[in-house]
Structure 1
Amino acid sequence: MAAGVAATGGLLFGFDTGVISGAILQIVREFHFSPVQEEVVIGAVLAGCILGAASGGLLADRFGRKAVIMGTALVFGLGTLMCVAAGSMHMLIVGRLVVGLGIGTASFAVPLYLSEISPPDKRGALVSLNQLMITIGIVVSYCVDGIFSGQAHGWRWMFLAGLFPALVLGTGMLFLPCSPRWLAARGHANKAKDALKRLGQESSLVHEDEAEQNTGSLRELMSPRLRPVMLVGIGIMFVQQFTGINTVIYYAPTIFKKAGFASDAAAIWATVGVGMVNVLMTIAAVRLLDRIGRKPLLSAGLFFMTLALLSLAGAFRFQHLLAGSMKWVAVGALVVYIAAFAVSLGPIGWLLISEIYPLNVRGTAMSIATLSNWGFNCIVAMTFLSLVEAVQPWGAFALYAGIGAAGWFFCRFFVPETKGISLENIEADLWAGRPVVKLGTTSG
């Protein structure tokens, strides 16, 4: 129940990311935006995400994960109301920027909290509830857009719908315990034990002589001992984004139209189908992560993602030979791609960065990894159409496939297997100087 309430932050993340796709169609007509103004309104949320990811880590380490998530719900609510009430482009941009602050903070604070309240044998499933809720939030936003698309000022109702999950998150977190690991790191051993009992766990988190290790700094993150694990966290985010996932999220209708779908409606419904596959396969990932493990799913997922991207590149390259079947090849390739992503890089990227960092700097470290994720997201989103123009669609997808192949080797030789290993044992191996890929192998 605690994980479900906290994961509502993922629902907000997904909803506020996807809702603009339908709302912007009405907004452009009502305010007579130019293409540049439209890009600014859409891009404002990404700027907010970067700011939220950059600033939230220090707050999470200082004030606690619960407090930051509650603050995130308040920020979401404020930004939503500003968007609903916007009477000008500037007000709308500010509202989207505030919403972005919430998304950027929630994108790491929620999995961080989930990882620290979860027992080792269920951590993969519970942390991945956040990714599941993100995928559900995206699909819900598409449906809300459809419901209000025919109404006057329907875009305001589209945004307003996001207020409900913000209220659920903020109110629900009031009744949840603080992270017991954060309490222990701050020296509140008795409060940490009480929090564990509320969560149905009795095991000790830290040795008494370790409870004072409650401070960390950015300089410590850059130390030779922690630098490798920081690079692995940033590396997994690079692979997650530069294999092209957000070209599918943001540009799937465009891809389908280039593949041969004649109407906007047909391309959009094909996109909804891809979104549903994302949800269903993320549900499968929640069940598999603590059974099969992180690395086997990463290996299989990256293999099939690369294969799908190569198939998509080949279909565009030899489009003249496929004729009318081209669009179905594109649909099939994207379905395989999104299914493979949903059981591998999608949830595991966020899961790993919630597991591999030491407690005293975990919030700040996750903030840096999340900041890199949003930075990579921006680069991919802003370069895709230009890349298509420069090297044709097949060249763009071939490039992403090459990064997927390189990512397979990266995950194989640098990413640790953390299934069933307590966060304390992973940290003990890190402080003992073991290579990142072997974290948890001596104490699991």
Structure 2
Amino acid sequence: MGKLIPNAFNLAVVIFVALGSTACSYGMAVIGGTIGQPSFFKSMGLAMEGEEGYGRTASYIGAFNGVNCAGSAIGALGSAWFADKYSRKSTIQGAALVLSIGAAVCAGSVNLAMFLVGRLINGLGIGALVTVIPMYQAEVSTPESRGFMVSMHGVMFSMGYSLSAWLNFGMYFISQKGTSSSFPWRFPIAFQMIPALLLLAGSPLLPYSPRWLVMQDRFDEALAVIKRLHRTKEDANNILATSEFHQIKSQVELSRHQAANSNSSSLLRLLSTPSTRKRAIIAFFVMFNNQFTGILVLNNYLVLLLSALGLSGYLPLLLSAIYVLATFPGNIFCGLYVERFGRRTFTLIGLVGIVVVLSVEAALQAQFLGTSNRAAQNAAIVFLFLVATPFWSFFLDATQFIYVSEIFPTHIRSQGVAVGMAGYYLADIILLCAGPTAFNTLQWRFFLLFICYSACSAIFVYLYCPETKGRSLEEINEVFGDQLVANVEDGDKKSEVAHEEELRN
């Protein structure tokens, strides 16, 4: 098909829609700063650590994360139907609105029940956006640029975590002044609405996914969108864009024929053949397993870990903010090089690296946690950072979204990605609810779970996850043993014929 550098419009679309990614990660992380603000406990009538009744507070902290993750899981699964019925674009718009409503309810909460309801609503929007945004990015990208384009989801995800960490770090100093204002916890929660509302305001300018348009038999619109997204100076006559359109159309027609013969729902079709079952299993476990590298617990409870390693005052918050900021260049590196080296290679490097780093971390904490050996404890802090940079952010964070968003055929892509995101949020529920208690009870032994699980995950990827780099979304079907109706060469021939007819007319 030739090399196709994404044009400015295509790149702008992918980056702009990732404002939703920033809103999602911000909303997932902001609770970590909220529970660090004394004014929040006062507003909600909760006891702080060390006070009588803190056990009730600890239960509510788990619930704040739990209901948000549960809402996200529901939002992820529900988005599969909405994305096919009403389009990827409309689902993104609706999810951004729901996320904003949830954030507004949380920011304006006057009691715990209202706050929990807001977290649930917020989670519904987060789950839908995290599912549909990388799917949309994959469907509007060229095969050669898809890795870079979908990695923008990871880049902007890091942006959300960073914004949350630094904003809450700033709020710490307002809290230290002894003010009774609830601003230090309400403003950071309300701030989540900004990227979501910006996305919602500019979303009418976004094109529909060309693959969704083909599924709706809106062929002229689909071709026009592909030409606008993928036109370059080297392909001024749209030969490659038209080739891509023919390939998409032929593959969708085959999928539609197969679906008509199966007489089953989209979700059941996801499990109806060995190839689709394999993809669903891969998607679920890639997302589930990656959370058990320990990165989720580190992202949300790093302040607690740093405090256990002897840091106090504003230092845990400052290092936590630096920690998430350091993941930003890693995701950019992934976007630039994942297409060259491949999804499998990056994933395996990341998992093996995390096994090594966490093994050293566990050994350091087992030997020196609670001692006066400051040098060894500082080394343990360094190895906590090495989990995220380089191994998680450079090789795993964006790669997981790229891979899951591209391995399914168009007619069941929304259902397949939703299954993957369900695995993601199931792991979140388990780890975020159990994390504080597990670290408090098991201490360094908790890292043994992540070490063993990451090693098993590397074996799973090596044995069962095929490489997909450099292929169109339709050509990936061949990797999993499905029929490919139109290859690129066939599409090129059709495109050339169509172009000659246009010239004659």
Same fold per superposition (TM over 0.5): yes
1:369-380 mapped onto 2 (5 Å cutoff): 369-380=420-431
Provide the TM-score with structure 1 as the length reference.
Answer: 0.92
Cα distance between partner residues in 2 of 1:141 and 1:210: 42
Q: Which of residues 194, 213, 223 is equivalent to 1:193?
A: 223
Q: Which residue of 1 aligns with 2:335?
A: 286
Cα distance between partner residues in 2 of 1:85 and 1:398: 41
Cα offset, 1:431, TM superposition: 5.1
Matched, 1:23 2:34: yes
Check the 8 A contact 1:184/1:206 in 2, yes or no.
no
Cα distance between partner residues in 1 of 2:250 and 2:303: 57
Q: 1:421–1:325: structure 2 CA closer, same or farther, 3 Å change rule? A: same
Cα offset, 1:260, TM superposition: 2.4
Q: Give unmatched runs, 5+ long, in structure 2.
A: 1-11, 47-55, 232-240, 260-264, 489-505
Q: Which residue of 1 aligns with 2:279?
A: 229
Alpha-carbon displacement from aligned partner over 1:37-71 (angstroms, at most 9, x marks no partner): 34323432112111111211111122111010011
What amino acid is the match of 2:205? F
Cα distance between partner residues in 1 of 2:213 and 2:418: 19
Check the 8 A contact 1:239/1:407 in 2, yes or no.
yes
What amino acid is the match of 2:163? V
Cα distance between partner residues in 1 of 2:346 and 2:480: 23
Q: 1:264–1:382: structure 2 CA closer, same or farther, 3 Å change rule? A: farther
SS at match of 1:420: coil
Cα distance between partner residues in 1 of 2:92 and 2:193: 15
Q: Which residue of 2 aligns with 1:352?
A: 403
Cα distance between partner residues in 1 of 2:285 and 2:401: 12
Matched, 1:85 2:108: yes
Identity of aligned residues (%): 25
Q: Which of residues 285, 300, 314 is equivalent to 1:265?
A: 314
Q: Which residue of 1 aligns with 2:412?
A: 361
Q: Which residue of 1 aligns with 2:141?
A: 118
Alpha-carbon displacement from aligned partner over 1:183-220 (angstroms, at most 9, x marks no partner): 11222221110111221341323445544434661111
Check the 8 A contact 2:169/2:321 in 1, yes or no.
no
Provide the TM-score with structure 2 as the length reference.
Answer: 0.81
Q: Which residue of 2 aligns with 1:437?
A: none
Q: 1:204–1:42: structure 2 CA closer, same or farther, 3 Å change rule? A: closer
Check the 8 A contact 1:293/1:418 in 2, yes or no.
yes
Cα offset, 1:269, TM superposition: 1.6
Q: Which of residues 429, 432, 436 is equivalent to 1:385?
A: 436
SS at match of 2:468: coil
Q: 1:229–1:206: structure 2 CA closer, same or farther, 3 Å change rule? A: farther
What amino acid is the match of 2:244? S
Check the 8 A contact 1:315/1:322 in 2, yes or no.
no
Q: 1:120–1:23: structure 2 CA closer, same or farther, 3 Å change rule? A: same
Cα distance between partner residues in 2 of 1:125 and 1:52: 26
Q: Which of residues 340, 343, 362 is equivalent to 1:313?
A: 362
Q: Which residue of 2 aligns with 1:180?
A: 210
Cα offset, 1:173, TM superposition: 1.6
Q: 1:382–1:80: structure 2 CA closer, same or farther, 3 Å change rule? A: closer
1:135-214 mapped onto 2 (5 Å cutoff): 135-149=158-172, 150=174, 152-154=181-183, 155-201=185-231, 202=241, 203-207=243-247, 208-212=249-253, 213-214=255-256
SS at match of 1:416: coil
Q: Which of residues 69, 72, 88 is equivalent to 2:95?
A: 72
Q: Which residue of 2 aligns with 1:105?
A: 128
Cα offset, 1:388, TM superposition: 3.3
Alpha-carbon displacement from aligned partner over 1:69-97 (angstroms, at most 9, x marks no partner): 01111112211222232222222221111
Cα distance between partner residues in 1 of 2:377 and 2:78: 43
Cα offset, 1:9, TM superposition: 0.9
CA-based RMSD of the aligned residues comes to 2.1
SS at match of 1:305: helix
Q: Which residue of 2 aligns with 1:410?
A: 460
Check the 8 A contact 2:169/2:317 in 1, yes or no.
no
What amino acid is the match of 1:350? F
Q: 1:209–1:276: structure 2 CA closer, same or farther, 3 Å change rule? A: closer
State which drifts further: 372-381 or 201-210.
201-210
Q: Which residue of 1 aligns with 2:4?
A: none
Cα distance between partner residues in 2 of 1:209 and 1:283: 34
Cα distance between partner residues in 1 of 2:354 and 2:362: 12
SS at match of 2:444: helix
Q: Give unmatched runs, 5+ long, in structure 1.
A: 435-439
Cα distance between partner residues in 2 of 1:84 and 1:389: 30
SS at match of 1:343: helix
Cα offset, 1:135, TM superposition: 1.0
Alpha-carbon displacement from aligned partner over 1:235-293 (angstroms, at most 9, x marks no partner): 211220111111101111111122222x1422222212211221221121121112222
> How many residues were matched structurally?
433
Check the 8 A contact 2:347/2:395 in 1, yes or no.
yes
State which drifts further: 145-154 or 184-193.
145-154
Q: Which residue of 1 aligns with 2:381?
A: 331
Q: 1:224–1:85: structure 2 CA closer, same or farther, 3 Å change rule? A: same
SS at match of 2:361: helix
Cα distance between partner residues in 1 of 2:459 and 2:372: 33
SS at match of 1:19: helix
Q: 1:209–1:408: structure 2 CA closer, same or farther, 3 Å change rule? A: closer
Cα offset, 1:322, TM superposition: 8.2
What amino acid is the match of 1:283? I
